[in-house]
Amino acid sequence: MALGIEQLDDFIHAYQQEYPMGEWADISMPLQKYLFASRLFDSANKDESSGAYCKWKLEVRYADNLQVVGLYHRDSSNRVNGLDEGEMKWAMSTVNYHYDLDEDTFSQGADAIVNYIDLRERGLMKSFFAGMEDLMFGAGPTSATQKPNPPSSLLWWITASATEGFNGTEPSGFESVGVGGIDTDDYPYWKNRTFSYAQFNHEDAIRKTIRSMDLCLFEPPVSAAGLTPTRPNWELLTTYSRVSESYELLRTGNDNIRNDLGTYANSPAIRGVPMVWVPAWTNSASMNARTDGIILGVNWATFKWKYRSGRNMRKRKAFQHPEMSNVRIRKMDDAGQIVCYDRRANFRGYSTATITEVD
């Protein structure tokens, strides 16, 4: 039974809370997997804060009061302010869909309308997560005054340098304000580790990766029969060509790394830490496709998506278009920020030669 046009707004609003599953194949998403949704987005355990800026505390110093003493020693004690505050602008986004009440679907009964709106709602969420994936694996903000301000990204937090060592300073455009408001000149331990490599082999890329893992305290997950964790904190994010080259190294029968094959979702690993290829960096159609053979050592325990209170995935009731009386617009607004609590626990390497990825 068809619904009258005067009933559609209330009917659709009532069904925009719960949706039955429609039946169709989904070939709309361009990437094989989306790490923002699986790694940073956590609607069950929201870390929310209010205010005009996203802020968090960092321990930057401690009171060094150890003394070698003798008889009749007079004690002395120093006290320091051990905390500093990280600060970033909130990144705001919006996504929407629209429909016309005169579309044929709205005269075909409740089931057809629900499936139609369900498809649009799914598209809304896909648009959000696909867009956040692009932002998470992109370059991040270009300056402290950029408007509108996008969220920071993994590559914004974990910067590159050709020199091996803890040389990851501020991203371009943030030299005067620091990374998250913290200046690496004042706090040298606020730098991530870096290296470059000329060849992807044991003597060059693998050895430098292992050194970075050791010095960034990349501890492999505990591995036991039936107990291997499915989502370890440590991952080596890279492009598919690096994973493919790793398979070739394994195929040659190198005993030192052969046993890592298949320890995590059939991915190669280095010292138990899985190498995970990122479609957003590999697929040629991606806006973030890379040619530098990146190896990003990420300790996920040091990253968090912080939500702005009251603006986390805030959906509005569909409202009338100001110039089209039968057109309704459904919006979702969001505000948050990607925050790193320990840059020194992460590293970034890249190839000095151009790498061509294959889809």
pLDDT in tens, 65-124: 777 878 888 888 777 676 778 899 999 999 999 989 888 888 887 788 888 888 888 888
Read off the pLDDT of each residue in 115-137 and give the average, rounded to a whole number: 88
Within a domain: residue 243? no
Reference 58, options 351, 336, 342, 292; nearest CA is 342
The answer to the question of residue 140 being in a domain is: yes
Task: Confirm whether 22 is domain-assigned.
Answer: no
pLDDT (0 to 100) of residue 19: 47
Query: How many domains does one find in the chain?
Result: 1
Q: Residue 35 falls within a domain, yes or no?
A: no
- pTM (2 d.p.): 0.83
Q: Sorting pLDDT into bands at 50, 70 and 90, what band is 7?
A: low
Q: Residue 76 domain-assigned?
A: no
Structural domain range at position 207 = 50-60+81-226+304-359
- Give 22-65 pLDDT, tens digit per residue: 444 454 566 777 778 777 876 556 788 888 889 988 876 667 77
The gap from C-alpha 194 to its chain's centroid, in whole angstroms, comes to 19
Please provide the average confidence, as pLDDT, over all residues in the chain. 83
| E strand segments, the chain | 48-49, 53-59, 83-89, 91-100, 165-168, 192-197, 234-238, 269-270, 273-277, 295-299, 303-308, 314-315, 319-321, 324-340, 347-351
Q: Which amino acid is at 344?
A: R
Name the CA dihedral angle for 49, 301, 305, 191, rounded to a multiple of 10 degrees: 90
Residue 177 — φ and ψ, nearest 5°?
Answer: -115, -10
Residue 171 confidence (pLDDT): 95
The answer as to whether 234 is a domain residue is no
**Amino acid 15: pLDDT:** 58
What burial class does residue 70 get, using C-beta atoms within 10 Å of its C-beta: 0-12 exposed, 13-18 middle, 19+ buried? exposed
At 232, the pLDDT band (50, 70, 90 cuts) reads low
